[in-house]
């Protein structure tokens, strides 16, 4: 099974995907936006979310009857870089596949075109752009709490720029070229065959695997432990496996 999927995220709460820099005197964190000023989730973050969903599905034994269950997350999304416990800044790749990418190309999640057209009509003015910005974003203020006294700490007010609940869509493409190049570079014949079997299985079943793991994806963005980025369930109809 080759090709691509377009997947939808139904965000039900305020959500935050911040740029690297802060917002000066106004905000501690500022939303990441695209060229048109709409909020988005970068592809790298979306890939991390899919990895989390796949790892949950594996841990919950949703792939229990699949011969490749143990390696599905790495096979689709690529291997994770591990960090040595004695030096959290030093990256240590896994032995298996090291940092070889997976077979999927996961794009950024963006506001759908239909909603964009509704929010940016022909002949839009600067005033319209300002109004659109006010409609899409909210200032969320919070303060640190003294754990002992249970009251707000002095001079600890934090402000973030969050996006309103919105639908987002993103594309996933099956692009195994880099993974195949690594497999073909393996010197050990048996190892090369085992890895090629896994790549061929992914070509047939990647959409099915995503469909199995999809319900495990329930939140996006930053500050998820504080209620940001909650998702409503959007059914994903994975196509059947190719014989």
pLDDT tens track for 150-203: 666 665 667 778 899 999 999 999 999 999 998 888 888 898 999 899 999 999
Closest CA to 163 of 32, 25, 20, 24: 32
Strands 152-163 and 4-11: unpaired
pLDDT at 43: 94
Is-contact 54 66, C-beta < 8 A?
no
Closest CA to 229 of 97, 46, 61, 58: 46
In this prediction, what percent of the chain has a pLDDT beyond 90? Answer: 43
Question: The tokens of 54 are what?
Answer: 């796949």
pTM of the entire structure? 0.80
């Amino acid at each position: 099974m080759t090709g691509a999927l377009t997947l939808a995220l139904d965000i039900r709460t305020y959500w935050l995907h911040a740029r690297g820099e802060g917002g000066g005197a106004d905000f501690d964190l500022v939303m990441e936006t695209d060229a048109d000023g709409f909020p988005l989730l970068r592809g790298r973050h979306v890939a991390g979310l899919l990895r989390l969903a796949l790892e949950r599905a594996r841990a919950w034994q949703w792939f229990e009857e699949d011969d490749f269950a143990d390696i599905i997350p790495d096979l689709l999304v690529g291997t994770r870089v591990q960090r040595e416990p004695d030096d959290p800044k030093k990256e240590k790749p896994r032995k298996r596949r090291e940092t070889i990418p997976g077979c999927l190309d996961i794009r950024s999640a963006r506001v759908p075109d239909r909603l964009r057209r509704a929010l940016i009509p022909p002949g839009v003015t600067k005033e319209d752009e300002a109004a659109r910005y006010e409609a899409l974003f909210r200032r969320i203020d919070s303060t640190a709490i003294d754990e002992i006294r249970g009251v707000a700490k002095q001079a600890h007010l934090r402000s973030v720029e969050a996006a309103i609940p919105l639908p987002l869509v993103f594309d996933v493409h099956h692009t195994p070229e880099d993974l195949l190049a690594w497999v073909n570079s393996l010197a050990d014949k048996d190892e090369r065959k085992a890895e090629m079997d896994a790549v061929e299985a992914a070509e047939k079943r990647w959409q099915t695997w995503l469909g199995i793991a999809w319900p495990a994806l329930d939140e996006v963005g930053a500050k998820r432990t504080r209620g940001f980025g909650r998702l409503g369930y959007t059914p994903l109809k994975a196509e059947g496996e190719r014989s």
